[in-house]
């Protein structure tokens, strides 16, 4: 377009120059010159009036009008009467501005200009390009971008609020449930509490998936390497998954190389998360058979190794065309078939992205209807090459140790302050720390906390963030400004359900020494307290030594006392006392519970045997195995264990042979329990 206009004006300039020369040299040619001028103007105007050219205006250096076209007249009607544009600021401004908006025509123009330089003519011209639709499109794009930014911000705010609002009640549920599991002695109550813990943990994992997805999506997920013991990391994973596998009657196998260096350097939190995600999926999508966790290694050089991890299941398998769909956020393959499977559809997407952040990748091998194997290789640093050893034995020992809660320290001289506006949260912390002998003060608001901290010295302050009137951050600031307070330098740890990305950094910048996300777990809480308590304020309890040196003598004396009251033949009382953690009243309670459930236990086992329902028979003798062990009926427990094993292996002849012996032993135990309790109650 610009080229065409330049050519036109070039021709016009040449003609005008020629006409002026002729005028000077031949007055007789004036009329002829005018005619030539009219022809040039007509030709130029004809070109510039063509459809699609757009408004065009040309002026000389003195701002006198040289040319304009029809489109320009439509835009500026006054140009018809204008010999010079100095009297028309709006036209004059065209040679300065880059855009022109016509309110009359409802159009937006981009202003383009060129200079005219010729021997006889010197000036400039502008032409206006209609960009109305382009502008509308850009405006719409800007609006859409602003809407997207607003939606993204709203999503982040929603996740932050959801994190807090959901995690707060989950904190109460899991905390109170842990206290029930610690203190309950009735088997059925413990069973209910285990179910509550599993359901609440599932809910928490869904919330965590959403938050992790948000962190990865925003690029704020961090990999934080640290020293860790590989055996401990795998123990935690196995403890968590084994319960799920047992509940589905799946065989859960672990094959761990015995020569793996025991002390590694890497992000063990994300390492465990990856394995848990993969194992959880394997258990979810496997109805029969087994799930196998295999961990091997090879040298990687530079004081590092490659951990080689694979999870194999005998589950539903995956069609080749569906494998990539596994990693699509919020999507599940074969939705109808898997409609009863819990979860967000984010686990594998998060797992793959975590591995990418750690320099690895997730490999999938599957056969539809047969099973799948998920594997990855992860580079980790080495801090100690001592081999991990016989992992299965260590795991079994560790598993026995965690069956019952034992506090890790006692600190009767230490004093802590817990600040939270939720009374249930305060009760949870008090309950979880009850056995530590800590002196615990509670404040239900920031104002109350400041009042208490004004005079009393605390070793640690735990502070909730989201509180009305004065939140945790404001309370901390006020605490630091109290010149006469003995707690200006007391470590303050924030307890919060706000687990979105960047939260920890924000709290540390505000002056908190550490951060604990809700729900609070007893073990983590104790570890955090030991980390910040002065060393002279607490004593660590080594349980192997404690149970041998302290509890054994105490429990033996209680067992001796009970055995003086009655001559037992079926019950091994030291075992019952250990199950009751040395409490004589609890021993009586356990025996009473065993007696009171006789009708149901006997009915369940007998009816399932008579109906040859050996699947449920296996379940019922499994329950008898546990309850009889708790009251010290060791022989009965062993018989039930053997029958449970036979049921799992479909050895029906063994069950038919030994069922009568089991019930005779059960009768003897029940008779002894009833006789003992009747004599105790008569005293």
Instruction: State the pLDDT at residue 403.
Output: 44
**Co-location of 451 and 595 in the same domain:** no
Between 114 and 414, the higher pLDDT residue: 414
Q: Is the pLDDT of residue 546 over 50?
A: no
CB atoms within 10 A of CB 101: 12
In angstroms, rounded to a whole number, what is the distance separating the alpha carbons of residues 475 and 462? 12
Residues 118 and 229 both lie in one domain: no
With b for 16 or more beta-carbon neighbours within 10 A and e for fewer, the 511-540 pattern comes to: ebebbbbbbbebeebbebbbebbeeebbee
pLDDT at 124: 86
Sheet holding 56-60, edge to edge: 65-68, 56-60, 122-130, 107-117, 99-102
pLDDT of residue 170: 75
Q: Tell me, what CATH number does 448's domain have? A: 3.40.50.2300
CA nearest to 217, candidates 205, 227, 209, 229: 209
Pair (556, 638) in one structural domain: yes
Of these ranges, 119-133, 213-227, 304-318, 569-583, the one predicted with the greatest mean pLDDT is: 304-318
Q: Tell me: do 554 and 524 sit in the same domain.
A: no
Task: Select from 523, 540, 557 the last residue of a domain.
Answer: 540
* Mean pLDDT, rounded, for 623-628: 79
**Do 94 and 226 belong together in one domain?**
no
Check residue 167 and give its pLDDT. Answer: 66
Same structural domain, 340 and 374: yes
State the CATH number of the domain containing residue 255. 3.30.565.10
User: pLDDT over 90 for what percent of the chain?
Assistant: 18
Helix axes 230-247, 268-284, angle to 10 degrees: 20
List Cβ neighbours of 19 (8 Å cut-off, separation of 6 or more). 33, 36, 37
Residues 88 and 72 in one domain: yes
Q: 209 pLDDT band (50/70/90 cuts)?
A: low
Q: How far from 557 is each of 547, 553, 577, 677, CA to CA, in Å?
A: 14, 6, 10, 20
- Residue 499 banded pLDDT, cuts 50, 70, 90: low
E strands, 521-582, in order: 539-540
Alpha helices in 379-492 (DSSP H): 391-401, 423-432, 446-453, 472-481
CATH of residue 643's domain is 1.20.120.160
Residue finishing a domain among 103, 130, 157: 130
675 and 552 in one domain? yes
Would you tell me how many other CB atoms lie within 10 Å of the CB of residue 675?
Answer: 12
Tell me: pLDDT of 98 over 80: yes
* Cα dihedral 589, 594, 595, 597 sign: positive
- pLDDT-based confidence at 654, cuts 50/70/90? very high
With a cut of 50, say whether residue 670 has pLDDT above it: yes
Whether residue 239 is contained in a domain is answered as: yes
Q: Are residues 427 and 516 in the same domain?
A: yes
Domain that holds residue 39: 2-130
pLDDT reading at 366 higher than 90: no
Residues 288 and 385 in one domain: yes
Report which of 384, 383, 380, 375 is spatially closest to residue 359, judged by C-alpha positions.
Answer: 380
Specify whether 513 is located in the same domain as 555: no
pLDDT tier at 642, thresholds 50, 70, 90? very high
What is the number of structural domains in the chain?
Answer: 4
**Predicted pLDDT at 341:** 45
Share of the chain above pLDDT 70, in %: 74
Q: Identify the three-state secondary structure at position 387.
A: strand
What is the per-residue pLDDT for 216?
54
Above 60 in pLDDT, residue 667? yes
89: left (phi over 0), alpha (psi -120 to 50) or beta: alpha
Instruction: Answer whether residue 150 is part of any domain.
Output: no
The lowest-confidence range among 64-68, 197-201, 389-393, 444-448 is: 389-393
- What average pLDDT does the chain have? 77
Q: Which of 79, 95, 130 delimits the end of a domain?
A: 130
The pLDDT assigned to 389 comes to 72
Highest-confidence range of 155-169, 552-566, 648-662, by mean pLDDT? 648-662
Instruction: Give the confidence band of 146 by pLDDT, cuts at 50, 70, 90.
Output: confident
pLDDT of 410 over the 50 cut = yes
The candidate with the shortest Cα–Cα distance to 394, out of 578, 245, 240, 234, is 234
Q: How far apart are CA 19 and CA 36, in angstroms?
A: 8
Q: Residue 396: what pLDDT? A: 44
């Amino acid at each position: 377009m610009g080229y065409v206009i330049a050519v036109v004006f070039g021709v016009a300039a040449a003609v005008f120059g020629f006409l002026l020369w002729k005028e000077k040299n031949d007055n007789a040619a004036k009329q002829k010159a005018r005619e030539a001028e009219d022809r040039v103007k007509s030709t130029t105007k004809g070109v510039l009036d063509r459809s699609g050219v757009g408004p065009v205006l040309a002026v000389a250096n003195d701002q006198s009008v040289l040319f304009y076209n029809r489109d320009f007249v439509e835009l500026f009607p006054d140009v018809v009467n204008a010999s010079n544009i100095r009297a028309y600021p709006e036209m004059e401004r065209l040679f300065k501005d880059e855009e022109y908006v016509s309110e009359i025509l409802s159009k937006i123009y981009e202003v383009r200009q060129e200079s005219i330089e010729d021997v006889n003519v010197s000036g400039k011209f502008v032409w206006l390009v209609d960009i109305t639709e382009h502008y509308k499109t850009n405006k719409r794009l800007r609006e859409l971008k602003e809407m997207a930014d607003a939606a993204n911000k709203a999503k982040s705010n929603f996740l932050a609020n959801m994190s807090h609002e959901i995690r707060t009640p989950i904190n109460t549920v899991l905390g109170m449930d842990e206290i029930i599991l610690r203190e309950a002695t009735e088997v059925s109550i413990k069973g209910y509490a285990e179910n509550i813990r599993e359901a609440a943990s599932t809910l928490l994992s869904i919330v965590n998936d959403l938050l992790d997805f948000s962190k990865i999506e925003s690029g704020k997920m961090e990999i934080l390497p640290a020293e860790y013991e590989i055996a401990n990391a795998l123990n935690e994973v196995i403890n968590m998954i084994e319960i799920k596998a047992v509940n589905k009657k799946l065989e859960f196998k672990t094959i761990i190389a015995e020569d793996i260096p025991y002390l590694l350097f890497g992000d063990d939190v994300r390492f465990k998360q990856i394995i848990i995600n993969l194992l959880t999926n394997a258990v979810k999508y496997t109805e029969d058979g087994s799930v196998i966790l295999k961990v091997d290694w090879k040298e990687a050089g530079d004081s590092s190794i490659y951990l080689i991890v694979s999870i194999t299941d005998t589950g539903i398998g995956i069609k080749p065309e569906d494998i990539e769909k596994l990693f699509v956020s919020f999507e599940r393959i074969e939705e109808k078939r898997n409609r009863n499977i819990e979860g967000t559809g984010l686990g594998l997407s998060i797992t793959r992205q975590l591995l990418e952040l750690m320099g690895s990748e997730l490999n999938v091998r599957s056969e539809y209807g047969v099973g799948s194997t998920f594997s990855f290789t992860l580079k980790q640093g080495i801090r100690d090459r001592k081999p991990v050893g016989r992992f299965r034995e260590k795991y079994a020992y560790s598993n026995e140790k965690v069956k019952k809660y034992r506090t890790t320290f006692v600190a009767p001289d230490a004093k802590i302050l817990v600040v939270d506006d939720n009374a249930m949260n305060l009760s949870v912390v008090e309950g979880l720390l009850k056995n530590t002998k800590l002196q615990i003060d509670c404040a239900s608001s920031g104002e109350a906390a400041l009042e208490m901290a004004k005079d009393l010295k605390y070793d640690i302050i735990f502070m909730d963030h989201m509180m009305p009137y004065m939140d945790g951050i404001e309370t901390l600031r006020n605490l630091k400004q109290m010149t006469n307070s003995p707690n200006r330098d007391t470590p303050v740890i924030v307890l919060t359900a706000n687990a979105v990305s960047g939260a920890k950094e924000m709290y540390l910048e505000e002056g908190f020494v550490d951060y604990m996300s809700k729900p609070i777990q007893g073990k983590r809480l104790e570890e955090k307290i030991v980390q910040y308590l002065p060393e002279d304020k607490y004593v660590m309890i080594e349980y192997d030594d404690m149970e041998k040196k302290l509890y054994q003598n105490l429990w033996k004396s209680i067992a001796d006392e009970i055995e003086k009251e009655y001559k037992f033949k079926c019950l091994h009382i030291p075992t019952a006392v250990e199950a009751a953690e040395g409490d004589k009243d609890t021993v009586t309670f356990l025996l009473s519970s065993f007696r009171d459930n006789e009708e149901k236990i006997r009915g369940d086992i007998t009816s399932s045997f008579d109906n040859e329902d050996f699947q449920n028979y296996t379940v019922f003798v499994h329950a008898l195995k546990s309850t009889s062990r708790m009251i010290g009926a060791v022989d009965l427990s062993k018989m039930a264990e053997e029958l449970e094993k036979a049921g799992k292996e479909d050895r029906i002849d063994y069950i038919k042979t030994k069922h009568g012996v089991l019930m005779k032993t059960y009768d003897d135990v029940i008779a002894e329990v009833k006789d003992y309790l009747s004599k105790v109650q008569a005293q």
